[in-house]
Amino acid sequence: MKSLPCCIDGRRADLGEYPDGLYVYQDIRTEGHRPLNLPRHIFYLQDAARELFGTVPDIDERTLEASVSSLLKENDYPSAMPSHITLRHYLSGQTVIAARETSPYRRMTMRTIFPAAAVIDYDIPFSAQPSSLREAARGTAALRAAAAGAGTVLQRTSSGCIAAADDARPFAVVGREIIMPDTLPSVWSEIAVAAVRKAGFAPVTETITDELLARADELFYVDHRGLTAVSRCGGRAYMHIIAERVGENL
């Protein structure tokens, strides 16, 4: 299988040439070969690097946007289809743009996939910032969830909080109340909160516990793929009525 294309400090490469070492990252959605919400993604990448590495990468927005656009065009990514790229900044100082898959959805919306979820206990070493540490922890958790027949990982921390669904902030619907944990903000949680408000709801910040999961009516999360509504977790089946309204407002 051919490696997906990437560029390292502006030089064309493929995923087999990734640098070694720690990195921070952002998952970015593109439309028409243009990365969306790029200033906010750069902000969060720099914030993660500051916390984990003690340095702030100097990333020029225009240069980065041009690099993303040329990488996608040169590798025949269709401009009419949104796609996913990952931006990584390494402790070594190198910056990598990796092109990923295209999306079947022409706009941000609710996905037609409704995965089951499994609660997996794990904490992320040092920091919950998006980094290679977090990616490794979640990848291991995903293997355990898949073994349980689930397509989504619900991270339960040692404090008992359901802190993440896959790599995103979870939202639990109880009646007409939409509850989210006070976990690390991101571009995608900003977009999700804005959509919740546009749909006519005021999100409530509260710890999502096992007990809350057991009485929730719906459970959803938002990332670069769109809104994913969970179908069930353990013995609890979830609806997706309010999730659909939120998805219409992404």
Q: Is the pLDDT confidence value at 36 over 90?
A: yes
Short-list 61, 5, 6, 7, CA closest to 35: 61
Mean pLDDT of 212-230: 97
Q: Is the pLDDT confidence value at 2 over 90?
A: no
CATH class of the domain whose range is 5-102: alpha beta
Quick one: 116-247 is in which CATH superfamily? D-amino Acid Aminotransferase, subunit A, domain 2 (3.20.10.10)
Q: Which pLDDT score is estimated for 3?
A: 66
Contact present, 220 and 232 (Cβ < 8 Å): no
Tell me the DSSP string of 164-184.
EETTB-EEEEETTEEEE----
Q: Is the pLDDT confidence value at 233 over 50?
A: yes
Q: Which residue spans of the chain are classified as CATH 3.20.10.10?
A: 116-247
Q: For residue 11, give Cα distances in angstroms to 8, 26, 42, 50, 97.
A: 5, 19, 20, 25, 10
Q: Is the pLDDT confidence value at 11 over 90?
A: no
Contact present, 100 and 4 (Cβ < 8 Å): yes
Q: Which residue spans of the chain are classified as CATH 3.30.470.10?
A: 5-102
pLDDT tens sequence across 50-108: 999 999 999 999 999 999 999 999 999 999 999 999 999 999 999 999 999 999 888 99
Tell me the pTM. Answer: 0.94
Short-list 248, 239, 246, 247, CA closest to 174: 239
Q: How confident is residue 161, by pLDDT bands cut at 50, 70 and 90? A: very high
Q: Which pLDDT score is estimated for 16?
A: 67
Q: Which pLDDT score is estimated for 162?
A: 98
